[in-house]
């Protein structure tokens, strides 16, 4: 027993000596070195347009790793593809929409025009979802600052019509295509397209539902947006707005890359704190940015700047 105990002590001491010797002569194997060589990936929150349970194409965000426009476009297309590895990170209760097994054969970005060449599986989209698929692609990819329009090819052949209904598509696809369209027209002349962002809720997650209203409204789009957001009832019960009906748009001014809005104090959620709800700021600002080529939206009350909305 004493012999075995002594042998164990000698073995433990020998192993400890070997470890100390290795760390002394080969310091790169130390824990400090391992920490130094560890790399971290910074993730960004990037807008993406997906289907919700009511079959609206909605705007939420996704954690992405790429920053250059072309790589980011590829990453987002992967996330939009059913069954892809990236689609596993889609927020709960939302769905990607590009048909399963669709591959990017080639992709090119030049002069703000993104050309995407998909494999033939892209054509497997259902008739109910084919227009939503085009909307989701347009709105997701044109949220990247360097991309203003897209062209879609299937196996090197340009997609000129919706795959199932055969409805013609524009030569290049831009946000003028609209999204979640609602028609309220009395004449085919003097049509106005205005995209308005409503609010959706899933558990603790707030997201936004853009609706393109096509009508004969002769008002300017700033007024249309504010009037629609404070209207009650809205088109559907699952389209919400937190803008109170007592809110009045007193004045607005189009500046370079900005729109300045002046409201009465009914826009405040908290009058003492002069606080405007985030959901109100987002729904107004996203709506204006979709209809005007601007970067910032300034919110004023009594000629005092309360906040400036700037995203990206």
Could you read off the pLDDT of 125-176 as tens digits, one per residue? 999 999 999 999 999 999 999 999 999 999 999 999 999 999 999 999 999 9
Task: Give the confidence band of 232 by pLDDT, cuts at 50, 70, 90.
Answer: low
With a cut of 80, say whether residue 302 has pLDDT above it: yes
Per-domain residue ranges for the chain? Answer: 2-37, 44-176, 182-310
For residues 241 and 219, what is the distance between their CA atoms, to the nearest angstrom? 20
Q: Which of 33-37, 83-87, 251-255 has the lowest average pLDDT?
A: 33-37
Cβ atoms of 67 and 25 within 8 Å: the answer is no
| Higher local confidence (pLDDT), 28 or 170 | 170
With a cut of 90, say whether residue 14 has pLDDT above it: no
Q: Which pLDDT score, from 0 to 100, does residue 152 have?
A: 98
With a cut of 70, say whether residue 233 has pLDDT above it: no
Query: How confident is the prediction for the chain on average, in pLDDT?
Result: 87
The reported pTM is: 0.84
| Higher local confidence (pLDDT), 200 or 43 | 200
Write the Ramachandran bin of 200: left for phi over 0, alpha for psi from -120 to 50, otherwise beta: beta
Q: Which pLDDT score, from 0 to 100, does residue 41 have?
A: 52
Tokens of 262: 């002046």
For residues 152 and 114, what is the distance between their CA atoms, to the nearest angstrom? 9
**DSSP H/E element including 139:** helix 130-141
How many residues are recorded in the chain? 312
For residues 9 and 3, what is the distance between their CA atoms, to the nearest angstrom? 10
**CA proximity to 290, closest of 47, 63, 23, 30:** 47
Q: Which of 14-28, 72-86, 277-291 has the lowest average pLDDT?
A: 14-28
Task: Give the confidence band of 238 by pLDDT, cuts at 50, 70, 90.
Answer: confident
Task: Give the confidence band of 237 by pLDDT, cuts at 50, 70, 90.
Answer: low
- How many Å from the N-terminal Cα to the C-terminal Cα in the chain? 73
Answer positive or negative: Cα dihedral of 145, 148, 154, 156: negative
With a cut of 90, say whether residue 27 has pLDDT above it: no
Q: Which pLDDT score, from 0 to 100, does residue 190 have?
A: 86
With a cut of 80, say whether residue 19 has pLDDT above it: no
């Amino acid at each position: 027993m004493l012999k075995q105990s002594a042998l164990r002590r000698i073995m433990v001491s020998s192993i400890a000596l070997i470890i100390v010797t290795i760390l002394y002569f080969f310091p790169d194997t130390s824990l400090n070195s391992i920490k130094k060589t560890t790399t971290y990936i910074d993730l960004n929150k990037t807008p993406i347009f997906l289907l919700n349970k009511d079959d609206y194409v909605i705007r939420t965000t996704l954690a992405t790793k790429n920053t250059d426009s072309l790589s980011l476009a590829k990453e987002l297309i992967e996330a939009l593809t059913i069954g892809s590895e990236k689609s596993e990170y889609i927020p709960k209760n939302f769905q990607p929409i590009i048909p399963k097994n669709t591959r990017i054969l080639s992709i090119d970005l030049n002069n703000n025009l993104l050309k995407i060449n998909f494999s033939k599986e892209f054509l497997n989209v259902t008739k109910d979802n084919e227009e939503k698929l085009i909307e989701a692609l347009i709105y997701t990819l044109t949220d990247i600052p360097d991309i203003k329009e897209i062209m879609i090819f299937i196996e090197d052949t340009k997609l000129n019509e919706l795959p199932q209904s055969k409805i013609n598509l524009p030569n290049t696809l831009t946000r003028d295509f609209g999204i979640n369209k609602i028609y309220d027209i009395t004449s085919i002349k003097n049509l106005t397209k205005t995209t308005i962002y409503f609010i959706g809720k899933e558990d603790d997650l707030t997201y936004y539902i853009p609706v393109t209203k096509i009508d004969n409204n002769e008002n300017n789009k700033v007024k249309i947006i504010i009037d629609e957001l404070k209207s009650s009832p809205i088109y559907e019960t699952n389209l919400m707005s937190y803008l109170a009906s007592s809110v009045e748009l007193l004045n607005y001014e189009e500046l370079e890359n900005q729109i300045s809005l002046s409201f009465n104090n009914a826009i405040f959620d908290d009058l003492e704190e002069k606080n405007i709800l985030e959901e109100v700021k987002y729904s107004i600002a996203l709506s204006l940015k979709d209809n005007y080529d601007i970067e910032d939206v300034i919110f004023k009350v009594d000629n005092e700047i309360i906040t400036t909305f700037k995203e990206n």
